[in-house]
Amino acid sequence: MLPCSTIGSTLCSVTSDWKGILLLSQTTEYALRAMSCLAYMPDGLVSTAQLAEVTLVPMNYLAKVLQSLAKAELITGRRGVGGGYQLAKPASEITMLDVINAIDPIERIHECPLKLENHSGRLCPLHTRLDQAASSLIDRFGGITLHDMLSEDPTTRPLCDTEMTARVDLTLGGSKPASQ
């Protein structure tokens, strides 16, 4: 098993200055990064400082994200010396949707958000399409577990550069990188 602090020393795939189009909030992205890191360490505790280093998330901000994840019962924490966080259940039982909904829930549109009288009982074409998109996201993110993400492509792993990808030993269902 590889400690997250070792991952952080060779990290290069995540940069804090990325300005791409964000479908999800930055906070949700941070939560997904933290959960990915914790999934690499299913049997150990990872400190907030280690998680911040690996995920490139400011530590004070990350602490608030971790509180939300703990409140959603996705992670457990232990305070004090030797303390840290770990997943509350196996990575194969936590979906991307679980993480997303712990931070910024994706919600379906059931009635006209504008409360227009002539839209009573049905959605206009705009809100119908937005609701369909939300439904698709819920289905897609609900079908991807942390385990799926970490074991999907042995050449590119979340939070790992090329060297680290070759060294990571996943304990998730016996998956291991293709070359070592």
What string of DSSP letters covers the chain?
---HHHHHHT--S--TT-----SS-HHHHHHHHHHHHHHH-TTS-B-HHHHHHHHT--HHHHHHHHHHHHHTTSEEEE-STT-EEEESS-GGG-BHHHHHHHHS------S-TT--GGGTTS--HHHHHHHHHHHHHHHHHHT-BHHHHHHS-TT--TT--HHHHHH----STT---S--
pLDDT for 173 beyond 50: no
Average pLDDT over residues 68-83: 92
Give the model confidence (pLDDT) of 35-67 as tens digits: 998 988 888 899 999 889 888 899 999 999 999
Mean pLDDT (the chain) is: 79
All structural domains of the chain with their residue ranges = 4-15+23-106+145-167
Q: Span 4-15+23-106+145-167: which CATH code?
A: 1.10.10.10
Question: What integer pLDDT is reported at residue 73 of this predicted model?
Answer: 97
At 66, list the tokens.
């971790």
Contact 77, 70 (CB under 8 A): yes
For 149, residues 6+ apart whose C-beta sits below 8 A from its C-beta are 36, 39, 96, 158
Contact 52, 58 (CB under 8 A): yes
More confident residue, 121 or 123: 123
